[in-house]
């Protein structure tokens, strides 16, 4: 009438608890290592970004300086071209007048 069921313990054994605690400690240690790694990488990314921004500012300033220098050179060359054009124009007029006066015998 009474069935004989094997008694099952509802509470875990001491060995199971020790193994579970050991496993949890390892997991906790690994999580701590990963968090530390993430923090280091995050800090390194912040430093890298700051360095890249500084370098970008330096490059931009250098670019602006070079651009300004080249624009100055262009302005200078344009002024020389304009001056030389007028000089050539007036030289041609003087030569034409000289040849005109020479041909008319007015020299």
Mean of pLDDT values over 5-17: 76
CA of residue 79 relative to chain centroid, distance: 37
The answer, yes or no, to whether residue 6 has pLDDT greater than 60, is no
Find out whether 107 and 101 touch, Cβ atoms under 8 Å: yes
Express each pLDDT in 33-84 by its tens digit.
999 999 999 999 999 999 999 999 999 999 999 999 999 999 999 999 999 9
| CA nearest neighbour of 81 among 89, 92, 93 | 89
Residue 69, φ and ψ in degrees, nearest 5: -60, -45
Please state, in angstroms and rounded to a whole number, the distance separating the CA atoms of residues 105 and 49.
Answer: 82
The answer, yes or no, to whether residue 8 has pLDDT greater than 70, is no
Residue 90 Cα distances to 34, 85, 87, 107, angstroms = 82, 9, 5, 19
**88 secondary structure, DSSP code:** H
């Amino acid at each position: 009438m009474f069935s004989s069921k094997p008694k099952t313990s509802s509470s875990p054994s001491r060995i199971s608890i020790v193994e579970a605690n050991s496993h949890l400690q390892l997991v906790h240690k690994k999580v701590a290592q990963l968090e530390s790694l993430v923090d280091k990488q995050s800090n390194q990314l912040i430093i890298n970004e700051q360095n890249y921004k500084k370098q970008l500012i330096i490059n931009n300033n250098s670019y602006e300086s070079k651009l300004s220098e080249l624009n100055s050179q262009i302005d200078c060359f344009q002024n020389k071209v304009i001056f030389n054009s007028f000089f050539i124009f007036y030289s041609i007029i003087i030569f034409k007048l000289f040849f005109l006066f020479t041909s008319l015998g007015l020299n």
